[in-house]
Amino acid sequence: MTQINAFLRRIGLAPGANIEHTISFLGEVQSRCVTTIPYENLDILRGKPISLEAQDVYDKIVTRGRGGYCFELNALLSNMLREMGFEVRDFFARYLRGEAEIPFRRHRIAAVFCEDSWYMMDIGVGQIAPRLPLKLAEGEIQQQGEERYRFERDAELGWILYDWHDGDWRRYISFTEERQYEVDFVPPSFWCEAHPASPFNKSPMIAIKTPGGRKTINDREFKEFVGERVVRIEENITDEQLNELLREEFGIQL
């Protein structure tokens, strides 16, 4: 229980909080994760190899108060939920939003069984993304605040998750349900770290959700959003400003 209590404290829940095998509890965990643990690629930019070993992920995010990207963040989520007694499966996903062609699978998500159904959980996306578990149910429109999501099935891509954007449904991610082992996530994670075509090793990519929106740093630009509306922007930030923003807005102390 020591690690579970530390994890709960990390996401703003009281250590020893009652762990309930309910959708309400899973929603509390997911929503708190995305508003307390930042999405960030700073270790990649510093040339520090990413370890996906369970203890290393835990030490980085929980003990040292850092963030990470999908292979780290959703690994932590899966590990902690298993420790709490949930049935969890880990899947590869394709990130389809903004892609003209089908990309290879370089995103990790979790599927959790609760109250007689499977739910997708994902805390590893810096953009607009679900803050609560989504039920794996074909065609059912699932509202989360101002956001709407819907799953459909495809003969090749498996589950396709759509989000409502500008008056139409757009493809967000897709995944199939083959069992994945932890070792399977190492090659795509290394591609994200080291490949010349990877977007993750070029410049800072940092994000955290807020109750009404999110905060982001892309390269040398900081933005704060309410919904999809930008309410604050700082451009051409210096190294000193970057470090201050990391501390003050994202809770990251390098």
Lowest mean pLDDT among 45-49, 100-104, 140-144, 242-246: 100-104
pLDDT score, position 192: 97
Q: Where are the strands (E) in the chain, listed by range?
A: 87-95, 107-114, 117-121, 134-135, 142-144, 147-154, 158-165, 168-175, 205-210, 213-218, 221-226, 229-234
**Whether pLDDT at 245 is above 80:** yes
Fold designation for 2-202: Arylamine N-acetyltransferase fold (3.30.2140)
Helix or strand or coil: residue 81?
helix
**Whether pLDDT at 1 is above 80:** no
Residue 152 burial class via C-beta count within 10 angstroms: exposed 0-12, middle 13-18, buried 19 and up: middle
**Whether pLDDT at 137 is above 90:** yes
> Structure tokens of 138?
């074909």
- Report DSSP letters for 22-43, one per residue: SHHHHHHHHHHHHHHS-B--HH
**d(C-alpha 131, C-alpha 30), whole Å:** 6
**d(C-alpha 149, C-alpha 156), whole Å:** 20
Q: Which residues of 196-218 are buried (b: 16+ CB within 10 A; e: fewer)?
A: eebebbeebbbbbbeeebbbbbe
* Torsion of the alpha carbons at 249, 250, 251 and 252, rounded to the nearest 10: -120
**Residue found by looking up tokens 């010349």 in the block:** 196
In 3D space, the residue among 72, 27, 206, 200 whose CA is nearest the CA of residue 127 turns out to be: 206
CB neighbours of 136 closer than 8 A, spacing ≥ 6?
A: 111, 117, 118, 119, 120, 151, 159
Does the pTM of the predicted model rise above 0.85? yes
**d(C-alpha 198, C-alpha 48), whole Å:** 16
How far is residue 150 from each of residues 34, 57, 135, 138, 143, measured CA to CA in Å? 21, 31, 9, 7, 9
Q: Using one digit for the tens of pLDDT, what is the confidence trace for 105-130? A: 999 999 999 999 999 999 999 999 99
> Structure tokens of 57?
């992920």
Of the pLDDT bands very low, low, confident and very high (cuts 50, 70, 90), residue 134 is very high
pLDDT score, position 45: 97
pLDDT score, position 7: 97
Residue 116 burial class via C-beta count within 10 angstroms: exposed 0-12, middle 13-18, buried 19 and up: exposed
> Structure tokens of 245?
């923003």
- Provide the residue ranges of all domains of the chain, joining segments of one domain with +: 2-202, 203-254
